[in-house]
Amino acid sequence: MPFKMMILSALAATTALTLISAPARAEGEVNIYSYRQPDLIQPLLDAFTKETGIATNVLFLDKGLVERIQAEGANSPADLILTVDISRLTEAKEAGVTQPVNDETINKDIPAQYRDPDGNWFGLTTRGRVVYASKERVAQTEITYEELADPKWKGKICTRDGQHSYNVGLIASMIAHHGEADAEKWLAGLKNNLARKPDGGDRDQAKAIFAGECDIALGNSYYVGLMMTNEKEPEQKDWAGAIKVLFPNAADRGTHVNISGMALAKNAPNKDNALKLMEFLSEGDAQKIYAEQVFEYPVKPGEEASAIVQSFGPIKADPLPLADIAANRKKASELVDKVGYNDGAEM
């Protein structure tokens, strides 16, 4: 039975899904299981089909992607996995639903720091974990992650849930750079500077700055572009207009970055087509299209970000391999609970 395109909303993601019982072995297609919204990747897939004649089928899930592939087992129609975070890439590898790829084109285009050492996943774009700062109330133009624990920011910082993968990734990078003990002290200091209990998403932090609830916040760089261009909810343009983007540690090691990425599914029935798509996604034209669609940075050296992203200012990315950071994610999650981060500042 041909694989059909299914797009599941967050509400529908809780609905039981019917497992496909037979392999999808149609010629000239590739089946993609994606954590990334279909409308964000469709221009890429359209360009791939135009160039190669290979059709693309997308199954979007906002959660449970790895579990679905595990349940489908050897009969899974999944060829390629697209994700939005290093944690989900490492989760897929550790769950045994990926297979290694050693491809000359991909390895040439994607720097080693954004590749799994075993070839099980590859980064496509990066985004910085930056500081949103009030244009009205914050004069400084430089900041470090370490400074977020300085008492001068007491009652002035907003963040989302400390256990969210974006924050866990940042904390894991602090462990990688400073060791677990110092990272714990830093996280406790950050907690005590919170203006309120962690809540909402990254855009909500910009909204809180706009509303005067806090002066600075942690957020991903690409959300600024999404807010600036949001025609459906134009009030988000005001949130974006109230903040400036500060790239932490620009004067030393650089800003922590995360990735969107891809992995070849373990039992890919259309493996050759999937590899062609992976090569396509790693090359310059696709990198440019993808980065412009999602307001992120291409991982391929020499490829420029969109004009909107460049307007945030230059980014110097922390060169520490993401695999090294990912290795500290469990410790980072434990520290969030240990310091009681989500309880907010002590009064």
Element at 69 (helix H, strand E) = helix 65-72
Provide block-wise average pLDDT over 10 residues at a time, the chain (347 residues): 40 33 60 90 93 96 94 97 92 97 96 95 96 98 98 98 96 98 98 98 98 98 96 97 98 96 97 97 90 92 93 94 93 98 91
Q: Is the dihedral of CA 94, 98, 99, 104 positive or negative?
A: negative
Do 126-256+315-343 and 6-125+259-303 have the same topology in CATH? yes
- With CA atoms as reference, report the closest residue to 123 among 345, 294, 340: 294
CATH of the structural domain 126-256+315-343, one choice from 3.30.413.10, 2.30.30.90, 3.40.50.720, 3.40.190.10: 3.40.190.10
What are the Cα distances from residue 63, in Å, to 83, 88, 334?
A: 11, 10, 22
Element at 176 (helix H, strand E) = helix 165-178
The CA distance from 205 to 199, in Å, is 8
Residue 303 near residue 126 (C-beta atoms within 8 A): no
- pLDDT number for residue 5: 40
The CA distance from 91 to 67, in Å, is 10
The CA distance from 11 to 124, in Å, is 28
- pLDDT number for residue 307: 95
- pLDDT number for residue 308: 96
pTM above 0.75, yes or no: yes
Strand pairing partners for 262? 82, 122
- pLDDT number for residue 16: 33
Q: Which residues contact 257 (CB under 8 A, 6 or more apart)?
A: 126, 127, 128, 129, 297, 315, 317, 318
Element at 165 (helix H, strand E) = helix 165-178
Q: What is the DSSP letter of 343?
A: G
Q: What is the DSSP letter of 18?
A: P
- pLDDT number for residue 4: 43
- pLDDT number for residue 290: 87
> Which CATH architecture group holds 6-125+259-303?
3-Layer(aba) Sandwich (3.40)
Q: Which residues contact 296 (CB under 8 A, 6 or more apart)?
A: 125, 126, 127, 221, 222, 260, 290, 305, 309
- At residue 298, what are phi and psi to the nearest 5 degrees? -65, 145
341 is in an annotated binding site: no
The CA distance from 65 to 55, in Å, is 21
* Tokens standing for residue 115: 């590749």
| For the chain, domain boundaries | 6-125+259-303, 126-256+315-343
Matching residue, tokens 């909107």? 308
290 is in an annotated binding site: no
Show the CA angle centred on residue 165, arms to residues 155 and 195, nearest 5°: 10
- pLDDT number for residue 27: 59
